Amino acid sequence: MIKNALNDNDYGKRDKRGNWAPFGKLPINPKYLLPFNPFKFIFNYFKNIFITSPVGYIFWATAILSWFFLTPSLDTMKNFEVPWIFFIFIRNLIFIIVLCSFFHLRLYTFNLQGNSFKYNPKSLATKNPNFFTKNQLIDNIFNTLVWGVPIWTTYEVITLWAFANGIIYNVSWQLHPIYCFLLFIITPTIQSVHFYLVHRLLHWKPLYKYVHKVHHNNVNIGPWSGLSFHPIEHVFFFSVILIFWIIPCNPLIAMWCLFFTAFAPIPGHSGYDKMLFKNGKFIPAGDYNHQLHHKYFECNYSGSGTSILDKIFGTFHDGSDESMILFKEKLKNKTYL
């Protein structure tokens, strides 16, 4: 166990079942959009990207380094050939295994911080008939690696091939640096809006029953739950890249979109609010906004960065007692969950 000065009782509270929740209500993001305050909105947006999101640094740094050092040249990708396609697949496979394993080994296998800052105190499910193998972890690993990575890679390969052949317009970073920089910065927001729309669709009764329920079997989530989908859901989920077939962009930005889409769900499903280190240090490691979605199903369809969409459409759960009562009633009235 890590000896850390942080006590989760100073940051939140536990209910009678041991479920931990942070103090206060969840914020509506992005801030200062309604009512619109342009200066505060821009400042807060850049603050979230460059100051308060250390895990995000790893995501976009990995995308940039991968583009320059771990991606074949566009000339190489003009034709569909096994060597470069297989290289990208193996690269993506390694990234997902390393990232998921880092969170899972630290928080679950070695249990370095116990239940401190853990939303749900229960262990990951075993002998549970809701999972194909009856083991939550094995199911999640299978769905992530057998379906998720190949489908992500397929989208990436086709996109890079299209750039290489001029089918998608390639905006030069050197000629249009401001445009490319701004598009790079807002890519996570574009992805989050797409996720909201797709997520609402996946909760349509037929799609939920036969597709999205695979993901929602993870009531008590873990890092490998993040990309544990039915393959049809993977097709929907990674289709965000199609937006960048229309919006003029640079291949690096398109690849960054796919990297963010693949990486963000992993810490977002860690099941912990914070990952603790020695001497009172920590990094944000979870997403209570999405934790509530897995608990109550019919709320918080968007990522925490665009929770204003849930607020606008009446599906925002802010973690308060009032919201708890409201969404427990909604859950009781659902017959297909």
DSSP 155-187: HHHHHHHHHHTTSS-B--TTT-HHHHHHHHHHH
CB under 8 Å to 318, separation ≥6 — which residues?
A: 25, 26, 28
272 phi and psi, to 5 degrees?
-120, 145
Average pLDDT over residues 210-217: 97
Q: Please say if the pLDDT value at position 337 is more than 50.
A: no
Which tens digits make up the pLDDT trace of 76-102? 999 999 999 999 999 999 999 999 999
Helices (H), 37-81: 38-50, 54-69
Size of the chain, expressed as the number of residues it contains: 337
CB under 8 Å to 146, separation ≥6 — which residues?
A: none
pLDDT for the residue numbered 335:
40
> Could you give the CA distance from residue 329 to residue 337 in angstroms, rounded to a whole number?
13
CB atoms within 10 A of CB 34: 12
Check: CB of residue 203 under 8 Å from CB of residue 296. no
Mean pLDDT of the chain: 92
* Domain spans, the chain: 50-283, 287-337
> Could you give the CA distance from residue 166 to residue 135 in angstroms, rounded to a whole number?
46
pTM of the complete model: 0.94
pLDDT for the residue numbered 280:
84
Q: Which candidate, 59, 104, 57, places its Cα nearest to that of 271? A: 104
pLDDT for the residue numbered 91:
98
Q: Which candidate, 282, 263, 293, places its Cα nearest to that of 100? A: 263
DSSP 140-159: HHHIIIIIIHHHHHHHHHHH
Q: Please say if the pLDDT value at position 109 is more than 50.
A: yes
Cα-Cα-Cα-Cα torsion 60, 237, 290, 225, nearest 10 degrees, comes to -90
pLDDT for the residue numbered 297:
86
Which tens digits make up the pLDDT trace of 292-336? 999 888 899 998 889 999 999 989 999 988 877 777 676 666 543
Which tens digits make up the pLDDT trace of 261-279? 999 999 999 999 999 998 8
At residue 118, the 3 state secondary structure works out as strand
Helices (H), 203-264: 205-207, 213-216, 231-237, 243-246, 251-263
Check: CB of residue 255 under 8 Å from CB of residue 60. no
Structure tokens of 127? 């002998």
Which tens digits make up the pLDDT trace of 221-263? 999 999 999 999 999 999 999 999 999 999 999 999 999 999 9
| Per-residue confidence band for 2, with pLDDT thresholds at 50, 70 and 90 | confident
